[in-house]
Structure 1
Amino acid sequence: MSETKQHEGFIPAGLVVKNVQGVVEGSLYIAGDVEQAELEAGHLCITEEGTLKDGHIEARSVAIDGYVTGVTFTTPRLTAGAGARISDCVIEMGNPTGCAIHEDASFEGDVRISVSRNGKARQKNAEETSRSVPHEDAHIVIPGDDELDPHWAAKTPDITEAEQDAEIPLGG
């Protein structure tokens, strides 16, 4: 696949593709085997016959019914169907309610699901780290309001930029 934009994509069962890179504006369906993918897509679907190994996927939605391993997904919506087998992956989500996992889906190895309010991976550069406030001196700042809310304690931590990571032990 080239770097040009495509509207729809399909990798049929039995086809093995290596080093896939590009942007798919619409949907990409993977029924074959893909190794090393760097993709942006509107919707990505790995069918029951499909395999995706290693890479990074950014998509508005991801549906997994096949096998994925070593992939980082950045998406606001992820669905793992009954046939999903997910191994050693990172799932970066913007909203914890955008994830649906069927009870028969299988997780193996190190699978991490992280949720950040801004919808992107936890990317803190040195400037953001140096501006962090120790918990003892933190306070709530309300834009456009010069005074703190009298109902809040003076040492309430600033949670306006909070991110939450969850490591869910899934066995293995």
Structure 2
Amino acid sequence: MIEHVASAITTASGIKLDPVSSSASWFADTNWHKEDGNGYGGESMLVTVNCCEMQGDSVPNHDDWRSLLDAASDAAKERGLASFAIESGIEGCNGLEKCWRVIAHATDGVQWLSLTIEDRALDTSGDAGREADRLGLPIAAVHLTYGATVVEAGAKDRFAKAMEPFVGLERPEATTSD
């Protein structure tokens, strides 16, 4: 899935996204995280994987960011995800036209892709560029990651049995009891 969207980004923008780490390590044990609770005060049988990072070391002209997002959305939809939705409330941003960083997510409720387009040189305060220098980050980059939350290995039958009483019911708001 991530390679498909990365390929669409390359086709749309000419920017090649490469794996940040070896793709052989993407699903290593260190990338899997057990959920702390189920949101209702009980044990969770879910685990989350955050992995599969790809990055390009440049960005298209700012006027072309929307077409990059559209191409990524089309590719995500081809793989069963929703279109990329731009995250709201990004610091230093006043609509896509005024942003130095855009963060967007595409999901199907279980798995997701996160896409970041950033050109720190567009930050008029200079703070983003100084942060990049301090942390050794690129000034401009396109970054794509994949994640999913799934039932932990060996718990499928136990999970299905635990869910039986709730099938067909509306899901209540989670508590903060975890």
Q: Please, what TM-score do these two structures have when normalized by structure 1?
A: 0.23
More helix by share: 2
Larger radius of gyration: 1
The structure, 1 or 2, with the larger RCO (C-alpha pairs under 8 Å, 6+ apart) is 2
More strand by share: 1
Q: Please, what TM-score do these two structures have when normalized by structure 2?
A: 0.22
